[in-house]
Amino acid sequence: MQSSQFLQVGFARVKARFEQKLALWLPDLTSLASRLRDGQVPSDDMKDLCARVHKIAGSAKTFGYPELNHCAAELELLLLARQGQKQSRVEQAKLAPALAEFVSHIEAAAKTGSTMHSETTTAPAQKNASQYTILVADDDEHIADVLEFSLVGEGCAIVRAADGDAALELANKTTVYQWDLIVLDVNMPGKNGFSVLKALKSNSNTAHIPVIMLTRRDEDENVILGITEGAVDYIIKPFTMDDLTLRISSAINRHKVQVLIADDDELIREVLAQKFQRLGYRPVLAANGHEAWQKLQQERPALAIVDIMMPGMDGFAVLHQARHNSATAEIPIIILTAKGQQQNILQGLEMGAHDYIVKPFDLDELSARVSGILRRSRAKT
């Protein structure tokens, strides 16, 4: 029967996600267990622990881990007694070993989960080369469900937030989750998508994570606002699956695209680094020609922006080296030249620069040129 097949597949996916969560939680819980054994643990961490234990006590049995469930239930009682401050000395003493036991059960479950995935027959074949961790922030659970079903099928680990505050809290847990992407709804109660986006981009902990905004068809100005604030892309509801997966994989992959910025002016380096980071790329910096040439060879960026006037090895020398080396010959290079230096532009182009831009430059114009070049070079491969 079609429905029960869907149910089986759905169940397998949810179970897989549960096991992925266990594996993700393991390092944090292990460290917490040893800290608790050695002494006091901050109340925020305890709150976090309670939430996780509660979750496992509620669902482990459903996913086939009755012992883990039992252990979690005992631990939850101990934690609740502690919170209510009615914890007896015996209970206090039990806490650290109970947590240690809990952690070992999780370890066992996470291991079972990972070996089971390679044998699974009910879930559809997963084509994940790298597993992406995606935060989905949307108060509309149907949209979140759809996103989740399609993305989990692609091999992604999805974590959901129902509002802005929850999203920010989760996004900040960068020691627990290696976020590849955040999908953010514009219309959420409380903190709306834009304030969340701003908060994400102004926090150095989370600024580098690419963000895609979800917006309704009739809200065009939101799109511009989002891109200005640093979102890498937007998806308009109602969306098609193809559009969704395409934009998501492109946003995530852009994150892996390196852009070299070579300029002896520190301010220019900072401004450009920030801009490209907000656009979702990974900036690589060089303060002079020699460093630029080194990084070109080492990092093989997708594109390089090189200032002409640099002390020591200048932009021309970098260009020359890059073009005469097979490893770096194909890397598009944009040269930065000062106003009134027409001959630099001509020489640069003749030496193989892809494009040029004159200082003082318009940041948005430069970004547009960069995106254009990268798009065209992607189309070639």
Q: Which stretch binds another protein (CB under 8 A): 59-67, 117-125, 206-214, 286-294?
A: 59-67
**Could you write out the DSSP letters of every residue in 48-106?**
HHHHHHHHHHHHTTTTT-HHHHHHHHHHHHHHHHHHTT---HHHHHHHHHHHHHHHHHH
**112 contributes a contact to another protein by CB under 8 A:** no
Contacts of residue 314, defined as CB under 8 A and 6 or more positions apart, other chains included, come to: 289, 308
Of 34, 62, 92, 122, the residue at the interface with another protein (CB under 8 A) is 62
**124 contributes a contact to another protein by CB under 8 A:** no
Q: Which stretch binds another protein (CB under 8 A): 13-21, 121-129, 289-297, 326-334?
A: 13-21
Subset of 64-83 contacting another protein (CB under 8 A): 69, 73
Which one, of 331, 326, 323, 267, lies nearest residue 299 by Cα? 331
Q: Which helix (H) or strand (E) holds 363?
A: helix 363-380
Of 29, 33, 49, 57, the residue at the interface with another protein (CB under 8 A) is 57
Nearer to another protein, 148 or 314 (CB): 148
Residue type, 152: V
Place of tokens 């505050």: 165
Q: Which stretch binds another protein (CB under 8 A): 55-63, 173-181, 257-265, 319-327?
A: 55-63
Specify whether the backbone of 13 is left (phi greater than 0), alpha (psi in -120 to 50) or beta: alpha
- Kindly give the residue spans of alpha helices, DSSP state H, lying in 230-356: 241-254, 266-278, 289-299, 315-323, 342-350
Nearer to another protein, 52 or 275 (CB): 52
Nearer to another protein, 13 or 254 (CB): 13
**55 contributes a contact to another protein by CB under 8 A:** yes
Nearer to another protein, 166 or 353 (CB): 166
Nearer to another protein, 145 or 365 (CB): 145
Cα 314 to Cα 57: distance, rounded to the nearest angstrom: 63
Whole-number minimum distance, CB 1 to another protein, in Å?
9
Whole-number minimum distance, CB 165 to another protein, in Å?
14
Place of tokens 């260009």: 319
**63 contributes a contact to another protein by CB under 8 A:** yes
Whole-number minimum distance, CB 273 to another protein, in Å?
37
Of 31, 59, 245, 250, the residue at the interface with another protein (CB under 8 A) is 59
Q: Which stretch binds another protein (CB under 8 A): 9-17, 176-184, 255-263, 301-309?
A: 9-17
Which tokens belong to 218?
């009739």
Residue 214's DSSP bridge partners are 185, 235
Report yes or no: 82 and 92 within 8 Å, Cβ to Cβ.
yes
Strand order in the sheet with 211-216: 157-161, 133-137, 181-185, 211-216, 233-237
Q: Per-residue x/- marks for another protein, 136-175, CB under 8 A?
A: -----x---x--x-----------x-x-------------
**6 contributes a contact to another protein by CB under 8 A:** yes
Cα 257 to Cα 63: distance, rounded to the nearest angstrom: 39
Interacting residues toward another protein by CB under 8 A? 3-4, 6-7, 10-11, 14, 17-18, 51, 54-55, 57-59, 61-63, 69, 73, 141, 145, 148, 160, 162
